[in-house]
Chain A
Amino acid sequence: MTPTPRCALIAAASAFAAMLACAPAGAQTLRIGLAEDPDVLDPTLARTFVGRVVFAALCDKLFDIDEKLTIVPQLATAWEWSSDSKALTIKVRPGVTFHDGEKLDAAAVKFNIERHKTTAGSQRRGELAPVTSVDVVDPMTVRLNLSAPFAPLLAALADRSGMMVSPKAAQAAGDKFGAKPVCSGPFQFVERVAQDRIVVERYPNYWNKGDIHLDKIVYLPIVDSTVRLANLKSGQLDFIERMSPSDVPGLKSDSRFKISKITEIGYQGITINVGNNDYAKKSPLGTDPRVREAFELALDRDGIVQVVMEGQATPGNQWVAPTNPYYAKNMPIPKRDVAKAKELLKQAGVTNPSFTLMTPTTSDAQKIAQVVQSMVKEAGFDVKIQATEFSTSLDLADKQQYEVYVLAWSGRADPDGNLFSFIGCKQPLNNAAYCKQEVDDLLVRSRTARDPAERKKAYEQIAAITLKDRPIVYLYHRDWLWAYTNKLSGLRTVPDGLVRLQGLKFN
């Protein structure tokens, strides 16, 4: 019997369908869905949070932070401050090699710190500004000399400023280093297709190879959170970062997956233009601290967290979360008090203050604006929401051409990174145009003191002033939400939101 054309067609269709059935990836390949496409993979030039997630595989740092935000050594083995706190001596870990086989030593550390400081367009220059010179004390010891004591230096060295790249590869590649980074992390770079994938494979000579159980990692940027989740559910991904809070209840009931969450080191807040320009003067919030106090008293942070984040965040009123060791306990979260808010507005002589709230067009920011608008309306505020495309809003905020602005900060391990640049006079991120000599002096003290107790005291004093002046009204700290297959174990949840690969394995 010869097959009829129709039979042949059915056979061809079946073969095609079989052909399309997707093949599973190798058991030791971890596929991670990222919320964005990282920028350039050069620790000196990199500037995005998502890039740091990939660096966790590629580039080890001199220090790292642990679950409790304590600084722990990584490529360093020991460190010591000089008595005047103006020199940091670091012992370099022996037996570490870069992915090109070059050895990590004190000279390589010196090269890297100097590269961070001198490369054109370096994003690390600010973090390392107090470092004036680097001395090679002996082949495995290096000393960083500072112009003034600078406590946040260790935290900076636990981030991209502490990432060490191969001097040989960096010199050879010049400004193209980011296209094929060569570091000393547990995984080495294989390929990158922009907006599609970044592939890294296990580096066999990694100094801590006993802790590495995966062979290959594929990072896939998938911007849409629904699609990212669909990929996890259908088995194309093993792990997704930053899942949407609204997806948590649905996934919790699915036994194939686990969810991890941890409070971020950043914050979500509302910046108020308190400067001297027309925008600030036009807004009752910009001119009268009593109106700002009334505004804060009209807010219910728990309600905001429930509505905007479906409960997946920690309410907060400071630049660090209430769980952070540097949280100023003398200034707890104020309770909502609409009656007092109305009273304050009456005292200020503006019972129906009106202002424009600029918000980027991201979904969370817009939700915040809407919830805030309806909450403060009860106290008599009339809020006009001005939804503005992100880049444009950034520009307007930078030029202080706004009244009130909703903006998130991804956060730094040291509280200084969440504060100094935002409320220090004329600092680059001081969009509120806030400036007080007394606060500036305290900020300097908080970053020059090395004793944590002394630093905490300075932060308490800063909180006592700025949380009353309210250039920024902090609202909450998001939870990093990770979802992953239940076959994966050994995951560490560190508040910086980076996926550490040490100890991670498939069961």
Chain B
Amino acid sequence: MSTFLTRRLATIVPTLLFVSMLVFGLQQLLPGDAALVLAGEDHDPSVVAHLRAKMHLDEALPVRYVYWLGGVLRGDLGESMRMQKPVTALIAEKLPVTIQLAAMAIVIALAIGIPAGIVSAVYKGTAWDYAANAVALWGLSTPNFWLGIMLILLFSVSLGWLPASGYVSPFEDLRANLASMIMPAFVLGNAIAAVLMRHTRSAMLQVLSSDYVRTARAKGLDERVVVLHHALRNALVPIITLGALEFGTLLSGAVLTEQVFTIPGFGKLIVDAVFNRDYAVVQGVVLFTATVYITLNLLADVAYFLVNPRMRS
């Protein structure tokens, strides 16, 4: 176990170093002059010069990278030039929002995708199957921003049930928080539900035709028990893996959905930072997200190692 862990941990350091170089290097490929953008529309030469010096833009690329990396190693991801706020503070502010949105979206996706997949597999070739497939196709092919605006027009403008956009902290007002998050979470969950439904359907179809399911049925078990207890459990393994992957993607921010619903999460933070050439924010957030991804992967490997006896031998 310890050898395995040491080996896995040892690969993390070069991976993160590579990610940091990639993030830093790719950003420099962006056209445009960060100092000019951040200097505002007046382009006062003294301001441009000040910003250039502050961001070390006059120095060679490797020198700038070392400045930044030095800060990162000390836990300082730099400061947002646009908002004049430390990047770590911005991450701390946005992370809970993104986690909540991702969690709610995944719950909605699972709640829709898995039952729809089961129904579609069990009633294969019937109207239920076609209906579930049609819903999945719709979910996959509906653009998030369009669905978001349609939901706003229906539930906020016409019916007046939900706020059109914005975010309220759950610690401030749980009710308002849920009201503001339910639509964006549904929009995100809807697309993932479609993918989960398709995977659940194919996994279930495969399991339902296997020998042990036939044996269970031959034993005279109730069909509901066969489907939910015997078949579903085995079919769930790839679905859980997929769900976890989708959750990881959601954590890096849902750009369009956050933009439409004005949810102040990672997606909005990073997009605004790219357009404003706020380098420190882009670098900090991407590096942070990559670290979370890699850490989650490591945890998954460890869990797999613990539950799978074949890996231990």
A-side interface residues toward B, CB under 8 Å? Answer: 16-17, 19-23, 37, 39-40, 42, 45, 47-48, 120-123, 125-126, 175-176, 178-179, 193-197, 220-224, 226-227, 230-231, 233-236, 389-392, 394-395, 398, 409-410, 421, 428-429
Residue of B nearest to A223 (CB): B259
Contacts A391-B277, A392-B31 given; indicate if A230 touches B152 (C-beta within 8 A): yes
Interface residue stretch chosen among B9-17, B45-53, B69-77, B230-238: B45-53
Establish whether residues B32 and A389, one from each chain, have CB atoms under 8 Å apart when the complex forms. yes
Asked whether, in the complex, the Cβ of B162 is within 8 Å of the Cβ of A20, the reply is yes
Checking B163, B260, B269 against A234 with a beta-carbon cut-off of 8 angstroms, the contacting residue is B163
Looking across the interface, which residue of chain A has its beta carbon closest to that of B79?
Answer: A175
Question: B301 interface residue, CB < 8 Å from A?
Answer: no
Q: CB-CB < 8 A to A389: which residues of B?
A: 31-32, 275
Say yes or no for B95: interface residue by CB 8 A criterion: no
Number of B residues, CB within 8 Å of A: 53
The answer to whether residues A224 and B259 also contact, given A40-B84, A193-B264, A231-B164 and a CB cut-off of 8 A, is yes
Alpha-carbon distance between A105 and B181 when the two chains are bound, in angstroms = 48
Q: By the criterion CB–CB under 8 Å, are B259 and A394 in contact?
A: no
Q: Are B82 and A227 in contact (CB under 8 A)?
A: no
Chain A, Cβ-Cβ closest to B82: A39
Query: Is B33 at the interface (CB under 8 A from chain A)?
Result: yes
- Which residues of B have CB within 8 Å of A193? 93, 264
Query: Residue-by-residue, is B139-153 near A (CB-CB < 8 Å gives 1, otherwise 0)?
Result: 000000000010011
Bound-state Cα–Cα, A398 to B34, Å: 12
B40 touches A47 (CB 8 A): yes
Q: Which residues on the B side are within 8 Å of A395 (C-beta)? A: 31-33, 36-37
Name the contact of B39 in the complex, choosing from A47, A224, A235, A421 (C-beta under 8 A): A47
- Given contacts A230-B152, A231-B165, A391-B277, A175 and B84 within 8 Å (CB-CB): yes
Which among B31, B46, B149, B268 is the interface contact of A125 at CB below 8 angstroms?
A: B46
Q: What are 11 A-B pairs with beta-carbon distances under 8 A?
A: A20-B179, A21-B179, A121-B47, A234-B156, A235-B160, A236-B156, A391-B32, A391-B277, A394-B37, A398-B36, A428-B44
- Tell me which residues from 245 to 265 in chain B have a Cβ below 8 Å from any Cβ of chain A: 259-262, 264
- Known contacts: A195-B268, A234-B164. The answer to whether A428 contacts B149 by CB under 8 A is no
Whether B167 is near chain A, meaning CB under 8 Å from some CB there, is yes
Known: A22-B162, A193-B93, A230-B153. A392 touches B42 (CB 8 A): no
Chain B: which residue is nearest A19 at the CB level?
B175
Contacts of A398 on B, CB cut-off 8 Å? 33, 36, 43
Given contact pairs A20-B178, A195-B268, A395-B36, A428 touches B42 in the complex (Cβ within 8 A)? yes
Measured CA separation A175–B85 after assembly (Å): 10
User: For the complex, what is the distance from the CA of A236 to the CA of B156, rounded to whole Å?
Assistant: 9
- Check B42–A236 contact: CB distance below 8 A: no
B260 contacts across to A, CB distance below 8 A: 224, 227
Given A45-B84, A233-B157, A391-B277: A122 touches B47 (CB 8 Å cut-off): yes
Provide the bound-state CA to CA distance between A227 and B187, in Å. 15
- Nearest-neighbour CB distance to chain B for A390, whole angstroms, equals 7
In the complex, the answer to whether A196 meets B264 with C-beta atoms within 8 Å is: yes
Bound state CA distance, A42 and B82, in angstroms?
A: 12
Q: Are B41 and A234 neighbours in the complex by a CB distance under 8 Å?
A: no
CA A37 – CA B260 in complex, angstroms? 14
Q: Distance (Å) between the CB of A283 and the closest chain B CB? A: 21
